[in-house]
Structure 1
Amino acid sequence: MNYLKYALEKQKENSGIEIFGAVVTDLVQSVEQQLGIVFPEQYKAFLLECGSCSIYDTYISGLFRDWDNATSTGSTLHDTLEARANHKLPLNYIVLEYSEDENYYVLKVSPDSSENGKVYSVDIDDKDEVSKFTEVFSSFEEYFKFTLD
């Protein structure tokens, strides 16, 4: 899928969609190393084509070419490290979207190809830890299309 083309088409219909711009492979690889994971191919393609996207106040966490990814909300590096530190997010997930109502959408990053790339909704329990992983999309592409639609 061409993520940039899809986002640009949707942007014509909805001016609330913002595309932050493609990032370079070196940045993607650096963030993978910092997180200790390898991004699924669909997500990596999104990063290389769009970087990150938002629709109004909803960010699809990605990477920014012009902002500090370690400190910027909406960066998968920042959002994932924060979720790991504050809510004990397991290491085989990255944050795609964080909602103020204590809910995450996360992407599974796993060597098991049957699980890799699935998107889950994750709740925060009364101990302030992630709980109840519910599969909501079978792929990043499906999540991306749904979010921009």
Structure 2
Amino acid sequence: MEQLIELVRSNDDIAHFADGCDAAMLAAAEEELGLAFPPSYRRFVEEFGTCDIAGEEFLGVYQTPAMGQRLLGSVTETLDARSQYNLPENCIVLMFDGMGGLIVLDASRKGDSGEYPVFAWDPGKIGSSDLEPLGDNFGIFALDLCQKAVSRWRESSN
């Protein structure tokens, strides 16, 4: 996670992020979802709240003055996907895949380190068996995705 944080901060000309989340906001998010965040995602949300870099947008957790105390990002999108598309209760929405699907963490497959694997989920499918594996945990997945996005962005700018 520290490599990802450094990557985002060292590319602040193509990254946008919030101020991060404090312990109270994280606890409220987890309570609303009924799931704890895995360590790498928790660290990311603590640091940035929400973030996009080189076109890759991570939902995170944040609030806006217009929406008041409502927790936006992963919390809102997860709850909406559960009610509208029957997203499994053990999943947390991280991103949109750009093709109508969702990138999710699956808490039902918690590893020894407390991390959850990352999957693509198609709202047209029902159940955890319909998840397509993308990474062993958020930190590895996000770092790889962001390194590639930054490289593509920088190459296209030259």
The answer, yes or no, to whether TM exceeds 0.5 is yes
2-side partners of 1:33 and 1:124: how far apart?
Answer: 24
The alpha-carbon distance between structure 1 residues 91 and 7, as it changes in their structure 2 partners (threshold 3 A), is: same
Which residue number in structure 2 is paired with residue 88 of structure 1?
A: 86
Instruction: Indicate the structure (1 or 2) with the bigger Cα radius of gyration.
Output: 2
Q: Deviations over 1:9-29 (max 9, x none)?
A: 2x15xx332122211011000
Residue 91 of structure 1 aligns to a residue whose secondary structure is: coil
2-side partners of 1:71 and 1:47: how far apart?
Answer: 12
Query: What does 1:6-85 align with in structure 2 at a 5 Å threshold?
Result: 6-9=7-10, 11-12=11-12, 15-55=13-53, 57-66=55-64, 68=67, 70=70, 72=72, 75-85=73-83
2-side partners of 1:86 and 1:100: how far apart?
Answer: 18
2-side partners of 1:110 and 1:70: how far apart?
Answer: 26
- Which structure would you say has the larger RCO, counting Cα contacts within 8 Å and 6 or more residues apart? 2
Which residue number in structure 2 is paired with residue 134 of structure 1?
A: 132
* Displacement of 1:129: 5.2
Q: Deviations over 1:8-52 (max 9, x none)?
A: 12x15xx33212221101100011001111111111111111111
2-side partners of 1:29 and 1:18: how far apart?
Answer: 24
AA matched with 1:35 = L
* Displacement of 1:57: 5.0
How many residues were matched structurally?
A: 142
* Displacement of 1:142: 1.3
Residue 49 of structure 2 aligns to a residue whose secondary structure is: coil
2-side partners of 1:8 and 1:83: how far apart?
Answer: 31
Paired residues of 1:23 and 1:65 also in contact (CA < 8 A): no
2-side partners of 1:148 and 1:50: how far apart?
Answer: 14
1-side partners of 2:110 and 2:98: how far apart?
Answer: 31
The structure carrying a bigger helix percent of its residues is: 2
Q: CA RMSD in A?
A: 2.5
Paired residues of 2:110 and 2:117 also in contact (CA < 8 A): no
Paired residues of 1:70 and 1:77 also in contact (CA < 8 A): no
Identity %: 21
Paired residues of 2:29 and 2:71 also in contact (CA < 8 A): no
Give TM-score scaled by structure 1 length: 0.81
